[in-house]
C-alpha cells in the first residue's frame, strides 16, 4: 500500500456546512469534502491558478491534484443537483502557516494556535484532553452556544420567559 502524501493547505474555509434552505440538516444526505479537496477548488476555480502551479503549491503531482479536484467537483455537483448538504471536514493535510487556526479545549478552556506545518492536534497541550475544537467550527457541525456544544442535527427547544413562546436554538 502506498502512503498518501499530505497535501499542503494554506487556507481553511470560514464555514464547514452548507445545506438547502428550509430543510432540516437531520433530513438531508451529506456530501463530505475534505480540506484538501476544498483547497484544490479554491486554488483552481477561485484563484484561477494553473493546475501545475496549484499542484506545486499543495506539494503533490499534477495527476494527484487533478484527481482531488475532480473528486471535489463531482461531490459539489452531486450535492447541488440532488439537494444534499455539504460538509467540509477531515483529510490528510499539513497547514502551511498562511492561514491561522486556533483551537479550544473544552476541559480546561485553553486556547492555542498550533505551529505551522503541523497536523491537526489530537489533544490539548495544556491538560491532554482530546475534547478539542477548532474555533469557528470544527468541521463536525458543532457550535459553541452559551458555553455548551450544540449540534444542528439535535434541536434544542427552550421556553422564552419574556414572550412565553418556544424558540429553536441552534
Domain limits of the chain? 1-99, 101-135, 140-170
Share of the chain above pLDDT 70, in %: 72
CA pseudo-torsion sign 157, 159, 163, 164: positive
Cα separation, 36 vs 11, whole angstroms: 10
Is residue 21 classed as helix, strand or coil in its secondary structure? Answer: coil
* Cell numbers for 18: 452548507
Is 114 in contact with 97 (CB distance < 8 Å)?
no
Cα separation, 61 vs 40, whole angstroms: 12
116 confidence band (pLDDT: 50, 70, 90)? low
CA 99 vs CA 74, 111, 113, 132: distances in Å: 26, 17, 11, 19
What digits encode the pLDDT tens for the residues 38-65? 999 999 999 999 999 999 999 999 999 9
84: pLDDT strictly greater than 60:
yes
164 confidence band (pLDDT: 50, 70, 90)? very low
This model's pTM is above 0.75: no
What digits encode the pLDDT tens for the residues 122-148? 889 999 998 887 776 544 444 444 444
Give the model's pLDDT for residue 55: 94
Cα separation, 71 vs 76, whole angstroms: 9
What digits encode the pLDDT tens for the residues 17-35? 899 988 888 889 999 999 9
100: pLDDT strictly greater than 80:
no
Helix or strand run (H / E) with residue 9: strand 7-9
Cα separation, 145 vs 133, whole angstroms: 13
Is 113 in contact with 24 (CB distance < 8 Å)?
no
2 confidence band (pLDDT: 50, 70, 90)? low
Amino acid at each position: 500500500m502506498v502512503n498518501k502524501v499530505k497535501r499542503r493547505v494554506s487556507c481553511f474555509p470560514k464555514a464547514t456546512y452548507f445545506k438547502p434552505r428550509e430543510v432540516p440538516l437531520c433530513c438531508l444526505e451529506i456530501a463530505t469534502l475534505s480540506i484538501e479537496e476544498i483547497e484544490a477548488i479554491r486554488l483552481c476555480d477561485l484563484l484561477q491558478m494553473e493546475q501545475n502551479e496549484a499542484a506545486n503549491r499543495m506539494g503533490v503531482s499534477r495527476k494527484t491534484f487533478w484527481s482531488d479536484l475532480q473528486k471535489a467537483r463531482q461531490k459539489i455537483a452531486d450535492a447541488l443537483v440532488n439537494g444534499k448538504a455539504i460538509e467540509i471536514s477531515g483529510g490528510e493535510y499539513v497547514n502551511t502557516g498562511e492561514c491561522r487556526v486556533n483551537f479550544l479545549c473544552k476541559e480546561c478552556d485553553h486556547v492555542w494556535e498550533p505551529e505551522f506545518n503541523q497536523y491537526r492536534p489530537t489533544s490539548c497541550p495544556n491538560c491532554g484532553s482530546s475534547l478539542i475544537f477548532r474555533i469557528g467550527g470544527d468541521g463536525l457541525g458543532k457550535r459553541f452556544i452559551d458555553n455548551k456544544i450544540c449540534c444542528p442535527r439535535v434541536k434544542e427547544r427552550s421556553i422564552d420567559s419574556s414572550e412565553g413562546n418556544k424558540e429553536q436554538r441552534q
